[in-house]
Structure 1
Amino acid sequence: MSVLYRKYRPQQFGEVIGQNHIKVTLASEVISEAIAHAYLFVGPRGTGKTTLARLFARAINCQNRKKNSAEPCNTCPSCEQIRADRSLDVMEIDAATHTQVDNVRENIISSAHVPPLNQNGYKVFIIDEIHMLSKHAFNALLKTIEEPPIRVVFILATTDIYKVPSTVISRCQRFDFKKIPQTLVIERLKSISAREGVTVPAPVLASVARKSEGCLRDAESLLGQVLSLAEKGSVSQESAELVIPRSNWSEIEQLLGELSQQNVSAALSRLHELADQGADLEILLDDCIEFTRQLLLKKTIGPTFQPNADENAAQAVSRLAEQFSAQELRRLLEIFMLESHRSKVATIPELPLELACIAYCLEQSAPHLRREIPKKTETQVAEPASQPTMSMDMLSQLKIFWPQLLHMLKGHNHSLAVFLKVAHPIQIQNDHLTIGFKYDFHANTVGESKNKRFAEDAFSELLGKRVSIDCIVDPQYTENHKNFAGMNEKEVQDVLSVMGGEVL
């Protein structure tokens, strides 16, 4: 089986998927014969830059193109030579392998002064990855682009526009390519599968489209791998999972549905069921982040937002977004992202998602974890500065994740982890965390510039926002550390009801 993206490369403007704003403009220029001397195609990989460049080169050199039509005939000698990469009038150059000024002079500048063999056509230079050229090569090319020979067209393509000099950009007609919407990618994959005579389940096509992230070439390459597993004209879901991980969106919809009801037991049962079925929990966590992101965008933007997903998933997003508030979705997304960072050091694969489910449900369903500190009145006596004054939701978060913080630090600085193991947070105000120690030596060591900076990075990752720390000796260390290290009885029961176990 030949490579699909080459086998089914569009041969007409009408066959190109997406990029309508570019296709219409280029087609109008072909019909009106208002051809610019230089074009700059900018955009992500696999979105049609080279394809449209080749089509445009074929269209302006076609000998049998119909009047008031931009489509090349694909049968005349000029079209056939360009399609077979044998035309001397169309040159494709990979700037990534021809970066030096000598390459530009020999392959482009000298050739540009040779008239096209097709007297009614154009000499076209398609230069891919133009941003890879050296500074001297750009300078040499600039003069030719600025004052090009008659009937010479340059088409420059890049995925990194910021590396292209502004002097080059200003002399080109620029077109910005966009990622292909997932719905269009799925339709394209369906069409190719049908033409190959292979039946592929819709969830597999949706997974391929989502995995490609708007890059049609990647999607077609993945589809080629899936089709190679076909038996008797069809591909099973199980076979496709050998190439691309199973789509978790339907399972995630159920998992988030449980979280929307703060049903942590059901959510964890669902998670453990997926783990027993062999789901890749790292991919599942990434999918949770993307799904929650789609929910938050839907909730925030409203009906005009179209999720980047297949029809069934888009309906699930719309349906589930009604069960959350925007604030709840924002917090849930923060927790998932925080656990995604921690998953790299987790020794138990299920742990990051378990902690995410527990943390969210405890925050949402346990009012005693979110109670506010009473405001002081004029008759009240101010409490000592060493008493914990942080909000209880932040305190509960630190209690839950403090062991993992120590684990994170232990791999980099064992002493720092040991000192923080016998410390506790006192207060947090304006993103400034005060930590209490029993001994002056511990406070001073952790407060040293290098250790402090490292600890601040770890705490910032833990809390999901940038915080600074201050290390002090706590006059009421024994009482405060006991309150922090040992959760109160009700908080313990909340965790035990979810995870099981007993207090030792």
Structure 2
Amino acid sequence: EGIRYAPLRSRSKVYIIDEAHMLTREAFNTLLKTLEEPPPHVKFFFATTEVHKLPDTIVSRCQRFDFRRITTADIVRRLRQVVDGEKLKVDDAVLAAVARSSHGGMRDAESLLDQLVSFKATGLSEADVAAVIGEARGAHLADLLAAVRGGDSAKVFTTLAAIFASGVDVAAFTDQLLERFRALLAVKAVGKNPDIVDLPEADLAEAEKQAAGLTLEALLYFIQITLEAKRRIKEGANPRIVLEVTLVKMSRSADLVTLSDALRGTVTAAPAPATAAAAAASPAPVAEAAPAPAPDADADEPVPLAVAAPPAPAPAFAGKPTTLEETQSAWTRIVSAIREKSLLSATILKEGRITRLGADEVVVTLAAKFNDSHLKQLENPKNKVAIEAGFQAVFGRKMVLRAFLEAGGSAPAPKPSAPQDTTADPGVKKILEAFGGSKVVGIE
């Protein structure tokens, strides 16, 4: 209501609405008239992190400015100015930890620094930062990643026990793991690029060392199962069990075999024994498809385990069948041609097998689960025309179908017995007596 009045001392009235996306539709509708014809002395500023939630009618009447997150280095420089101005002694490592946890927000970084100074005026350390925000200490996280890289499941359990004993927040720790894996993935892919990986130089060097023994595929797998763990924790599963299972999976990821390697049969067995006595005690591995030579007992390389590949299916016959074998090979193509004319006939014949090929007929035996009613469907004039059209398309000449049931096939459904005289029934007699002149048409 006071918008229409001019300011008394200033040139303009400035209204700053923070978290503008939280306004209701009614509130936006009230503002809309003012925004359409604003007084010359009024300026509105809408601040939001979710601009997609603002109505289009509001956005179209505003000049939009998008601000990016502040880099960690810039936040550290600003925090250094603050602590120097307050005559406080805070290490750069602590300021860097505060900057990382703020995720590019200067206000969050300054608020966290204020909490830390209130918590402990002197002698602040990175462990204090982790304790305030509920994350794992840097040393614990490094030990955990080392255990995952080294495949040490026992160390995964002991390190996680120490992390939980320090009172970490599960959600914050899961996000911390995701951020670390994302940093390792980026370092592995593009190197120490500060535009991609927003970390101080010391942390970049540490991330490069941690990523050295990991592949891009492994890091993608780590991120995928960590996201799955985060979802399960949010659904109410026991967070400790979920994280233990997830991290042990990561530590055993070296045992996994890609699908392509498994199909090619390139899985390797355990390394050969180092001594001749051990080699004599255990038999040499033998290929399933063909015998393989015994491995050298002193060999350092793992012994390949030959796996017999499944036989490749014979290609379907593509020409005009003239023999029984060619017809059997082309049967799928014949059924497809019949399906274009009659879906029911093709469905029945799909499970049949060709037992004989004559000069002008194809003999098909149906499985035992079929019965005479299915044979009658195939003999239906309309279906018969469709089947012969399919044969004509493949054989190039007129062929007829003769279908039989396999031994043990289902007997035809019993025919209904002849109708009995229902008027002799006592109950029916009573009804006829009550309704004179009625007659029985049928009983269901």
* TM-score computed with the length of structure 2 as normaliser: 0.51
Give 1:247 deviation, angstroms: 4.8
* 1:377 pairs with 2:322: no
Mapping of residues 306-325 of structure 1, within 5 Å: 306-325=196-215
Q: Which amino acid aligns with 2:252?
A: L
The 3 A distance-change label for structure 1 pair 317 and 277 is same
Partner of 1:293: 182
Secondary structure at 2:39 match in 1 = coil
Pair 1:255-2:144 in alignment: yes
* Cα distance change on mapping 1:219 and 1:303 into 2, 3 Å: closer
How many residues were matched structurally? 268
Q: 1:288 to 1:127 in 2, by over 3 A?
A: closer
Write out per-residue CA displacement over residues 451-503 of structure 1, whole angstroms, 9 at most, x where no aligned residue: xxxxxxxxxxxxxxxxxxxxxxxxxxxxxxxxxxxxxxxxxxxxxxxxxxxxx
3-state SS of 1:124 partner: strand
For residues 24 and 135 of structure 2, the distance between their equivalents in structure 1, rounded to whole angstroms, comes to: 43
Q: Residue 248 of structure 1 contacts residue 284 of structure 1 at CA under 8 Å; is this kept in 2?
A: no
Partner of 1:164: 54
Change over 3 Å in CA distance of 1:375–1:168 after alignment to 2:
same
2:106 to 207, 216, 219: 216
CA 139–247 in structure 1, closer or farther in 2 if over 3 Å, else same:
same
Secondary structure of 1:257's counterpart equals helix
C-alpha distance in 2 between matches for 1:367 and 1:172:
55
Partner SS, residue 155 of structure 1: strand
Q: Secondary structure at the match of 1:125?
A: strand
- Matches of residues 330-349 of structure 1 in structure 2 within 5 Å? 330-343=220-233, 349=240
Does residue 206 (structure 1) correspond to residue 96 (structure 2)? The answer is yes
Structure-1 separation of matches of 2:171 and 2:26: 45
Separation in 2, partners of 1:182, 1:126: 27
Residue identity matched to 2:103? E
Q: What residue is the counterpart of 1:122 in the other structure?
A: 12
CA distance in 1, matches of 2:9, 2:185: 57
Check whether the contact 1:253–1:316 (CA below 8 A) recurs between aligned residues. no
Residues in 2 aligned to 1:287 and 1:366: alpha-carbon distance in whole angstroms: 25
Could you tell me how far apart the structure 2 residues matched to 1:366 and 1:302 are?
26
Alpha-carbon distance in 1 for matches of 2:255, 2:123: 47
The AA in structure 2 aligned to 1:177 is F
Distance verdict in 2 for CA 1:361–1:144, change over 3 Å:
closer
Q: 1:84 is matched with which residue?
A: none
**Equivalents in 2 of 1:129, 1:357: separation in Å?**
38
Percent identical = 32
Describe the shift of the 1:300–1:136 C-alpha distance in structure 2 as closer, same or farther (beyond 3 A).
Answer: same
What is the distance in 2 between the residues matched to 1:189 and 1:259? 35
The 8 Å contact of residues 116 and 123 in structure 1, kept in 2 or not, is answered as no
Q: Which residue of 2 aligns with 1:87?
A: none
CA–CA separation in structure 2 for the residues paired with 1:140 and 1:277: 51
1:244 aligns with 2:244: no
Choose 1 or 2 for highest CA Rg: 2
Kindly indicate whether residue 35 of structure 2 is the aligned counterpart of residue 145 of structure 1: yes
2: CA distance, partners of 1:303 / 1:237? 23
Question: Shift of residue 274 of structure 1?
Answer: 4.3
CA contact (8 A) 1:207 1:246 kept: no
CA shift in 2, pair 1:116/1:167, >3 Å:
farther
How far the C-alpha of 1:303 sits from its partner, in A, is: 4.5
* CA distance, structure 1, for counterparts of residue 27 and residue 239 of structure 2: 52
Task: Give the distance between the partners of 2:26 and 2:170, measured in 1 at CA.
Answer: 49
In structure 2, C-alpha distance between the alignment counterparts of 1:191 and 1:335, rounded to whole Å: 41
CA distance in structure 2 between the aligned counterparts of 1:136 and 1:270, rounded to whole angstroms: 53
- Given the alignment, which residue of 75, 80, 87 partners 1:197? 87
Cα distance in 1 for partners of 2:14, 2:168 equals 50
> Residue 184 of structure 1 corresponds to which residue in structure 2?
74
Distance in 2 between residues matched to 1:348 and 1:148, nearest whole Å: 53
Q: Could you list the per-position Cα deviations for residues 113-151 of structure 1 after superposition, in whole angstroms to 9, with x for gaps in the alignment? A: x26644xx3333333333344445434433333333334
Q: Does the 8 Å CA contact 2:130/2:137 hold for their aligned counterparts? A: no
Q: How far apart in 2 are the matches of 1:134 and 1:348?
A: 36
Question: In the alignment, which of 246, 250, 263 is matched to residue 356 of structure 1?
Answer: 246
Q: CA deviation at 1:367?
A: 5.6
Contact kept, 8 Å, 1:255 with 1:267, in 2: the verdict is yes
Deviation at 1:277, TM superposition (A): 5.9
Cα distance in 1, alignment partners of residues 40 and 13 from structure 2: 9
In structure 1, list runs of 5 or more residues that go unmatched. 1-105, 381-504
CA offsets, 1:414-436, max 9 Å, x none? xxxxxxxxxxxxxxxxxxxxxxx
